[in-house]
Amino acid sequence: MHGRDAVAEVLGLREQGLGARRIAARTDLPVATVRDWLAGRVPRHSRPTGSEPRGACRRCGHERHRFADLPAAYVYLLGLYLGDGCISRHRRDVYRLRIFLDLRYPRIVDECEEAIREVLPANAVNRRERRSNYVDRPESSNVEVSAFSERWPCLIPQHGPGRKHRRPIVLTAWQRALLDRHPERMLRGLVHFDGCRFINTGRGGWRCPRYGFVNSSEDILRIFCDACDRLGLRWTEARKGTGAQTIYVSRRADVERMDEFIGPKA
Q: How many CB atoms lie within 10 A of CB 119?
A: 22
Which pLDDT value is given to residue 106? 94
Cα distances (angstroms) measured from residue 69 to each of 53, 174, 177, 217: 22, 10, 11, 29
pLDDT tens digits for 73-89?
Answer: 999 999 999 988 999 98
Q: What is the pTM of this model?
A: 0.78
pLDDT band at 156; cut points 50, 70, 90: very high
Using 50, 70 and 90 to split pLDDT, how confident is the model at 36? confident
* pLDDT tops 50 at residue 216: yes
DSSP 253: H
pLDDT reported for residue 6: 80
CA 99/CA 94 separation, integer angstroms: 17
The residue-averaged pLDDT of 95-103 equals 93
* Interatomic CA distance for residues 8 and 58, integer angstroms: 17
- For helices 173-181 and 72-84, the axis angle rounded to 10 degrees is 110
Confidence of residue 133 (pLDDT cuts 50, 70, 90): low
d(CA 104, CA 196): 14
**Residue 183 pLDDT:** 98
pLDDT band at 43 (very low <50, low <70, confident <90, very high): low
Residue 244 pLDDT grade (very low, low, confident, very high; cuts 50, 70, 90): confident
Rounded Cα gap, residues 173 and 176, in angstroms: 5
Do 195 and 214 form a contact (C-beta atoms < 8 A)? yes
pLDDT range class, residue 243, cuts 50, 70, 90: low
CB 109 within 8 Å of CB 127:
yes
Give the containing element (helix H, strand E) for 98. Answer: strand 94-102
Asked if pLDDT for residue 123 goes beyond 80, the answer is: yes
> How far are the Cα atoms of 83, 208, 209 from residue 256, in angstroms, in the given order?
23, 11, 9
Which stretch of 37-41, 65-69, 237-241, 252-256 has the lowest confidence by average pLDDT? Answer: 37-41
